[in-house]
Chains A and B, each alone.
Chain A
Amino acid sequence: MIKKTLDEKAFQLLKEKMEQGLFPQWVLTDPDIYELEIDKIFGHTWQFLAHETELKDSGSYVTRWMVNDPVLLVKNRKGEIKGYLNSCTHRGTQLCTADHGNKKNFTCPYHGWSYNLDGELIGIVAGNKVYGEEMDKSEWGLREIPQVASYQGMIFGCLDPVAMPLEEYLGDMKWYFDILLGRSDGGMEVRGLPQRWVAKANWKATAENFAADPYHVQTTHRSTVELGISPEDPLYAGYGHQIVTENGHGINVITSKTGKARVPYQGTPESMWPMFKKNLTPEQDEILSGVTVFVGGVYPNLSFVSPIHGTEGHLHNYLNFRMWRPIGPEKVEVWCWFLIDKAAPEEYKEAAYRGYLGSFGPTGTLEQDDTETWARIVEVSKGLMMRDKELNYNNVSNYLMGFDRVEPDESFPGPGIAYPTTYLDAISRSMHENWFKLISKDLFVKEAVK
């Protein structure tokens, strides 16, 4: 598997570069690195599958992907959410091709094998006549996704049966999820199916763009400044804190120059504020009452943004989760969910949805410009000057912002390492460190012995 540039020496040099805040550009779209990532990162970490409100009733199902593994996620009669490999155990045919629906059982169109909501094989066409008595149906149930778990309604799956449990993996990010997803009675709800489109991008760059990079806002989204929607101050997205948590996760709590947002509680209806206070700790409430935008990510490929949108007198907030499904070194299938407080007034939900469509997703005016920069990175990353076998004259990306200059703010009320600005590469470097740790794990056994 390890060939060409990917030998032990290359990894050692890569590590040295990264310790200096430098990240070689060839790494971004290298096909061998990509194969390693799929195996060593996506094979062992928790990936987002769905929100619980997408599976309302017994028999509700959605089909999803964990990179190239097809997932059938169902709610069984006991109300449990089960994840199966969406492939018939007979000849491997994709069992269910619909995006969503409600069924009592799933029948393969190839030879007619049927499975119930617990993944058990319950029917074989011509049963014993073709297989004889020794065929034990209980041995041919659907293969379960090794681990499926949820936190605050967010359902994740993991292909590694011995990976740490979801809650341990999320770590301090749970505290921030409690604000984003747990502030309202009844939690959040998803509207419809996620929007899906294929962007020309590498998954690392899109994840980093969202989770770790408020610095791009003032230039990539400068059109909003030209239109008078965003402030002229080039630091406007930099006020607040960047918080690094475990396992490559992180969140930016963007406020404003005054240290508080222009409006409390992200422009949500005032009638909801006592409910937020009730559901949050005083520290969480302090953060929510003063934030303009939450933006962050759960490593490897889930990102989120919770902004304030709209003009004076017509403000709204929503929560957008997006999953970056890698489909090659230069392509990402983006899955984009809109979430809103179940307890919010209906007309507010509708206005927030329209605000979302105007800003994020493929038609969103902010995201349209992001897609352009993502494409421009992958389009130039294959050259010889990028791709240097010795890693000494290669093109490196600069991750030095705040390097050894910005100290953590001990007074920040939330967990994690909080830095007093979001124009910082601290989350990016943490994502890269985690990336390196995962892709190099068990790769050079010799080195471990030394």
Chain B
Amino acid sequence: MSSYLSIPITAHLQMEITNLLNMEAYYLDNGKYKEWLDLLSDDLTYRMPLRETLEGVGANNVSKDASFFEETKKSLTTRVNRLYTKSAWVENPATRQRHFISNIMVESTKNPEEFKVRSYFLFKRSRGSTHDIEEMFGERNDIVRKESNQWKIASRTILPDQSVITTMNMSMFL
């Protein structure tokens, strides 16, 4: 077990971190991508490995070598800038999307400024006037950090629960 002195997760701390994740979802669901970028630390790692179907009880089914995202703040900034062009057709006309974030669990780390945060996501999307409702769900493992009195996401690993993605593309951030 850890030898460091763990910081108690108070209701106030839980609320601050919950607010961070809810604010993030609000920005993403309302096309405020530049505001979203401001919630990410400059040394961010943002990953989304594939899920694999493997035989065996308790097998680790998170892919070690294949991903959907392996991003830095710089590469995410390029992706975001593209969404502000006139010809990123996947979001022009814009899709309507919601991130439902739940099951938020906060744990302390060795660094008193950083916390491990696990959350579940359910993402839903509607596009044009089609009747299809697209969805994706899974878990996120984050490190959040307080920088100059502002909460930032310093690291995120997104684990989708599907091995075959059923949204027609992945233009969304999760």
Q: Residues on A close to B: CB < 8 A? A: 96-101, 103, 191-200, 219-220, 222-227, 333, 338, 353-354, 357-358, 361-363, 365, 367-369, 371-373, 375, 379
Expressed in whole angstroms, the Cα–Cα distance for A283 and B34 within the complex equals 49
A245 to chain B, nearest CB (A): 30
A101 to chain B, nearest CB (A): 6
Known: A226-B85, A357-B68. A193 touches B50 (CB 8 A): yes
From B69, B90, B127, B130, residue with most partner A Cβ within 10 Å: B90
Beta-carbon contact of B166 and A197 below 8 Å: yes
Beta-carbon contact of A362 and B165 below 8 Å: yes
Known: A192-B63, A196-B164. A358 touches B75 (CB 8 A): yes
Question: Which residue from chain B places its CB closest to the CB of A193 in the assembled complex?
Answer: B66
Q: Residues on B close to A: CB < 8 A? A: 48, 50, 52-55, 63-71, 75, 78-79, 81-82, 85-90, 127, 130, 132, 163-171
Beta-carbon contact of B66 and A195 below 8 Å: yes
Knowing that A98-B53, A100-B52, A354-B75 touch, tell me 6 more A-B residue pairs with CB under 8 angstroms.
A96-B55, A192-B66, A223-B88, A333-B164, A363-B68, A372-B169
Beta-carbon contact of B169 and A362 below 8 Å: yes
Contact of A98 among B50, B54, B130 (CB under 8 A): B54
Beta-carbon contact of A222 and B79 below 8 Å: no
Expressed in whole angstroms, the Cα–Cα distance for A365 and B166 within the complex equals 18
Expressed in whole angstroms, the Cα–Cα distance for A99 and B54 within the complex equals 6
Expressed in whole angstroms, the Cα–Cα distance for A96 and B55 within the complex equals 9
Chain B hits for A194, CB < 8 A: 66
Beta-carbon contact of B52 and A372 below 8 Å: no
Known: A100-B52, A101-B54. A227 touches B82 (CB 8 A): yes
Contact of B90 among A191, A219, A224, A369 (CB under 8 A): A369
Expressed in whole angstroms, the Cα–Cα distance for A25 and B152 within the complex equals 51
Known: A192-B66, A372-B169. A197 touches B164 (CB 8 A): yes
From A194, A196, A219, residue with most partner B Cβ within 10 Å: A196
Beta-carbon contact of B68 and A99 below 8 Å: no
Expressed in whole angstroms, the Cα–Cα distance for A200 and B165 within the complex equals 12
28 contacts between A and B (CB under 8 A): A98-B55, A99-B54, A100-B52, A191-B65, A193-B66, A195-B66, A195-B68, A196-B164, A196-B165, A198-B164, A198-B168, A199-B168, A219-B87, A220-B89, A222-B87, A226-B85, A227-B78, A354-B70, A361-B68, A362-B169, A363-B69, A365-B78, A365-B88, A367-B169, A368-B90, A369-B87, A369-B89, A371-B168
Chain A hits for B132, CB < 8 A: 200
Contact of A365 among B48, B82, B86, B127 (CB under 8 A): B82
Beta-carbon contact of B167 and A197 below 8 Å: yes
Expressed in whole angstroms, the Cα–Cα distance for A287 and B126 within the complex equals 45
Beta-carbon contact of A372 and B54 below 8 Å: no
Question: Which residue from chain A places its CB closest to the CB of B55 in the assembled complex?
Answer: A98
Expressed in whole angstroms, the Cα–Cα distance for A286 and B166 within the complex equals 42
Beta-carbon contact of A357 and B70 below 8 Å: yes
Chain B hits for A101, CB < 8 A: 54-55
Expressed in whole angstroms, the Cα–Cα distance for A99 and B66 within the complex equals 13
